Structure 1
């Protein structure tokens, strides 16, 4: 059975208490895990620590923290501490993010993202195993240290995100899971082949690599209003978050729409960018409309072969009332 998880929102929330409250509500509704992304809003570690204090059973995870703003050793320490603090409920999701965050916000050069991700996974695993970490990679060098406390039991699993063929192949080869963001069903199935090839190259069973499909959702009695919110959300990602989402959408057969949305957003023609997200494209990438319509769409995505978990995410402009209505509409049965 496909798990139902939730991406806590990074925008449009007045306080940390509001964000944690959404996680508490998700636990009450029976969601399996609450993920928290990290861009240039609230940091993931503090947020998930606060959520761990106010929940009992829901899993917790980062989706994602980037591999540039923290060292690999620090990410290992952080994962070990969050696993301890949450009583074994933590799962680490990491990835390179993109230039908009890494260069524009953190001031770090965005180079060799795949090699960096691979080396971070290697080092974090060694840290979490309690091993002495002697690592001389092309990106990461560390030597002579190990955790002072005992390693977490069990060690948290490590997921990575990726959009291109090589990035997803890397996930299959080295990670415990892959997070798929901004994919159509067909696009996901294409990348699933890369994931399986990577697992085989790593002499692993592809079924052991857990897939999480991140799905923008909005369910309101006014279905058109819900669709407008998701349309704006998709336009922002394709047009305003660098070129990765644009290029990923183009690879999935939507090149004209991807270019139009991106160019309009870059030209600050936001209304044209949003209007360029057609109804068909909206339905291919998200679940938006009335509660009944959204439940059906989420079930359709959950039924796609190879999807182990759906991560319900929310439009950037969604307030608490909209988020609560959507959470309730698509809660696990």
Structure 2
């Protein structure tokens, strides 16, 4: 069975909500299975996904990811139930802790014990979506008396967890319905899949019941050099500029020297040197960048990896509206 083909709507600022709706509609027309939407520091995911749900008919929708610290678990459960209703059952909830730069600096919330917070949030959201009274006594949260005032979603949307480190991926296997993988080489994906399977075993679950969604930064353009330049810059930005998680993730996969070079150069203001440190071989191990024919071949290779249930086509920060559209078209199922 071939992997699903999803689209990960742009993390970079878009001109309007309507532009994001149009990208999702384009993906639906081209046969993509799901449109994922991140929530960072622009438009909130809930409003945009509601708009997409109202203006599409068949494509699945989902959050990838909704940060755990900026909403209470009860509110996350309400939101998931509502998005499942407005999308007529097409919603999938993707959650993740984000990182201290975002959570502490931007939201003013202490970034404490992300693994435990992830687990407890997933468990509380599941309770909320049963429609029964929620009672929960955990280390991070104590709840009593909450109950949905509307019909419980039927079926309840699946819950995915994003994670890069071994323990985070193990947690996804133990408690969630799926795992969102990103910035992984094929060998790195294999290592983390072992963590996922170990988590499933700890939770007495069948690993085959878990959905693995691999997010790939992609640019499929006739201008090959431009495609590779913008994907390389995007990769360097995440390794160097988004805290230590991406740096550590790359180092775990055998690229410690490169990871540290990119991180140090980026934080010293040497952005060009940081970007150049991502060589061609590593770029092709982590992402998809080249002509449409090259890009299609690379996406198919990633989709064929053991354990991958869906590949999610995402876009570099510097991609224009026209380049996003061209890539969506070129990499359509």
TM-score, normalised to structure 2, is 0.99
Distance (Å, rounded) in 2 between the aligned partners of 1:200 and 1:274: 40
**Tell me, what secondary structure is at the counterpart of 2:106?**
coil
What is the 5 A alignment of 1:317-328?
A: 317-328=318-329
Q: Which residue of 1 aligns with 2:281?
A: 280
Distance (Å, rounded) in 2 between the aligned partners of 1:132 and 1:3: 36
Distance (Å, rounded) in 1 between the aligned partners of 2:14 and 2:128: 34
Displacement of 1:12 in angstroms is 4.0
Distance (Å, rounded) in 1 between the aligned partners of 2:132 and 2:140: 20
**Tell me, what secondary structure is at the counterpart of 2:214?**
strand
Q: Which residue of 2 aligns with 1:112?
A: 113
Q: Which residue of 2 aligns with 1:183?
A: 184
Displacement of 1:100 in angstroms is 1.6
Task: Say if 2:223 is the partner of 1:222.
Answer: yes
Superimposed CA distance per residue, residues 151-206 of structure 1 (whole angstroms, 9 cap, x where no aligned partner): 01110000001111110000000000000011111000000000001001100000
Displacement of 1:106 in angstroms is 0.7
Q: Which residue of 1 aligns with 2:61?
A: 60
Large movers: runs of 4+ above 3 Å: none
Q: Which residue of 2 aligns with 1:91?
A: 92
| C-alpha contact (below 8 Å) 2:13/2:42 kept by paired residues | no
Displacement of 1:209 in angstroms is 0.8
| C-alpha contact (below 8 Å) 1:10/1:42 kept by paired residues | no
Q: Which residue of 2 aligns with 1:144?
A: 145
Task: Say if 2:295 is the partner of 1:300.
Answer: no
Q: Which residue of 2 aligns with 1:75?
A: 76
Q: Which residue of 1 aligns with 2:4?
A: 3
Task: Say if 2:158 is the partner of 1:157.
Answer: yes
Displacement of 1:145 in angstroms is 1.6
Q: Which residue of 1 aligns with 2:128?
A: 127
Distance (Å, rounded) in 2 between the aligned partners of 1:120 and 1:199: 18
Displacement of 1:10 in angstroms is 2.3
Unaligned 5+ runs, structure 1: none
In angstroms, what is the RMSD of aligned CA positions? 0.7
Deviates more, 1:247-256 or 1:101-110: 101-110
Distance (Å, rounded) in 2 between the aligned partners of 1:314 and 1:208: 28
Superimposed CA distance per residue, residues 24-60 of structure 1 (whole angstroms, 9 cap, x where no aligned partner): 1000100000000111111100110010111000000
What is the aligned length?
332
Unaligned 5+ runs, structure 2: none
Distance (Å, rounded) in 2 between the aligned partners of 1:175 and 1:60: 18
Q: Which residue of 2 aligns with 1:232?
A: 233
